[in-house]
Structure 1
């Protein structure tokens, strides 16, 4: 009987082993199915992540373009404002230069009229006050004679830049 028991034991062991192996295959199938499902989920997550990254990059490019447009617009406006400011400054400088040139010209005229009066024999001893404004020479003070008064006006009119002479010299009695 021992042999029969051995054979039965051997048959039961073989059956248990076969069932165990079959169970392992089924577990492997379940594990493989779970692995395939997880792989599919990972691939979907990867696709979703890639799509989200592309969308974010697209939005960032658009925002960068808009910021660049705004920056160019601001730069154009700042340049226009700077140009206008420079134009105003140039105009102001020209106006001040013209005013200064007018002052220099008036001062030069006054000096030349004084020099002409001082060089004249008859008028050199007189204290004639000469004032020039915008090319108009005003003579004031005493003159010994009417001809001296006229001579002073003639000398002043000969100076370059004199537009007219306002002769306020008074003939002193003497």
Structure 2
């Protein structure tokens, strides 16, 4: 049971109690029983409307949080797909497939780290990464292996 669903019966009970208390006040002695009942009903309606607004706001907040979580999940999934596609593109290249290149993607920005056998392969890795759908930017941090 959520806090909102437990709060609604509690508030309704409090509204009825407040209405009954209003009926028994000494300064209401001049009012007829019907007038006091009408006042109690009006108070109960007001409390019910406030409770309804609170419940609606809580539901709107929950929907917004859920939407944000879904957006973040989609973003992470997209980043994972980009990383996989960049790794696949690098694995197909004859000079790059034998190298250890780490690919990290955050919000469509790909970072390449590790070693490249030569400057041309370093640039080729960046070109291959930038050609993948969804890549917004490539941060090429590959170091050319001087021992090759």
TM-score, normalised via structure 2 length: 0.76
SS of 1:161's equivalent in the other structure is coil
Q: 90, 94, 99: which is aligned to 1:117? A: 90
- The gaps in structure 2 that reach 5 residues or longer are 1-30
**1:92-115 residue CA offsets vs partner (Å, 9 max, x unmatched):** 111111111111111111111001
2:36 is the counterpart of 1:63: yes
Runs of 4+ in 1 over 3 A off after TM superposition: none
- Equivalent-residue separation in structure 1 for 2:62 and 2:47 (angstroms): 22
- Equivalent-residue separation in structure 1 for 2:33 and 2:84 (angstroms): 74
2:142 is the counterpart of 1:142: no
SS of 1:130's equivalent in the other structure is strand
**1:134-166 residue CA offsets vs partner (Å, 9 max, x unmatched):** 111000111011111111001100111100100
2:104 is the counterpart of 1:128: no
Using the TM superposition, give the Cα deviation of residue 81 of structure 1 relative to its aligned residue in structure 2, in angstroms. 0.6
Q: Which has the higher helix share?
A: 1
| CA-based RMSD | 1.5
2:26 is the counterpart of 1:86: no
- Aligned residue in 2 for 1:156: 129
TM-score, normalised via structure 1 length: 0.65
Q: How many residues are paired up?
A: 118
Which of the two has higher C-alpha Rg?
Answer: 1
Structure with the bigger RCO (C-alpha within 8 Å, sep 6+) is 2
